[in-house]
Amino acid sequence: MADTAPRRASERAQAALREQILTGALAGGTHLGEVELAERLGVSRTPVREALTRLAAEGLVELHPHRGARVARFSEADLDDAFAVRTALEPRAVALAAARASAADLDELDDLATRMAAVGGPGPGQDLDALVALNRRFHARLVEIADTPALASALAGVVHAPVVLRTFHTYDAASLARSLAHHVEIVAALRAGDGHWASAVMVSHLANARAVMTGDRR
């Protein structure tokens, strides 16, 4: 197809910019100039423009007429809204995943949970940046395994806010320990094929994250 190369260039630009935003390399509020990005990514301005439009749909970029694009900033109200949506939808996704996960899926999730515990525990080996990336993959895999496009689409725009704000860098030791334990327990629930158990743990997991991010310890 004639548009294959431009489409691939746009997808590469989107993936590269998404990763830079989610890893904090591009901080909230950073101006995203099309010319500069095109030169840095080695593509023309058109793929960059398309990538920015798609990232805006994901909630990672803000597009302002006559002012260009900026990396999105998230307020406390934005976080509350994001966690409200996630609490309504993500427990449903993990319940579906419990019924649909293959042995290979479970092994992958188990490996991710184990690696998160290894890099997230206190001590000289703690690597919170690595934990952020592993956590993102863990939650994404749960949604993928649930295999429900409508759920995946609804969650796509709300899962990034805590990641952009570097969630684990704001956790205290007790909250981080709870979060790491939740991942392990979710895998155990999935191995048992118990969607109710998995869903309940996810509710607790999101409540823990919300309390950390908003300072709400209710």
Alpha carbon separation from 88 to 73, 176, 199, 203, 218 (Å, rounded): 23, 23, 11, 9, 18
* Dist. CA 171–CA 94, nearest whole Å: 23
- Given a contact cutoff of 8 angstroms between Cβ atoms, the answer to whether 179 and 136 are in contact is no
Q: In this structure, what DSSP letter does residue 31 have?
A: E
* Dist. CA 14–CA 51, nearest whole Å: 5
pTM score, two decimals?
0.75
Between 216 and 143, where is the model more confident?
143
If pLDDT is split at 50, 70 and 90, which confidence band does 217 have?
A: very low
Q: What is the pLDDT of residue 164?
A: 53
Query: In the predicted model, is pLDDT for residue 2 greater than 50?
Result: no
Taking only the tens place, the pLDDT of each residue in 28-59 is 889 999 999 999 999 999 999 999 998 888 77
Query: In the predicted model, is pLDDT for residue 216 greater than 70?
Result: no
Taking only the tens place, the pLDDT of each residue in 124-157 is 889 988 888 899 899 999 999 999 999 998 887 7
What average pLDDT score do residues 159-169 get?
61
Q: What is the pLDDT of residue 190?
A: 98
- Report angle CA 89, 156, 213 to the nearest 5 degrees: 75
- Given a contact cutoff of 8 angstroms between Cβ atoms, the answer to whether 195 and 95 are in contact is yes
Between 199 and 214, where is the model more confident?
199
Query: In the predicted model, is pLDDT for residue 102 greater than 70?
Result: yes
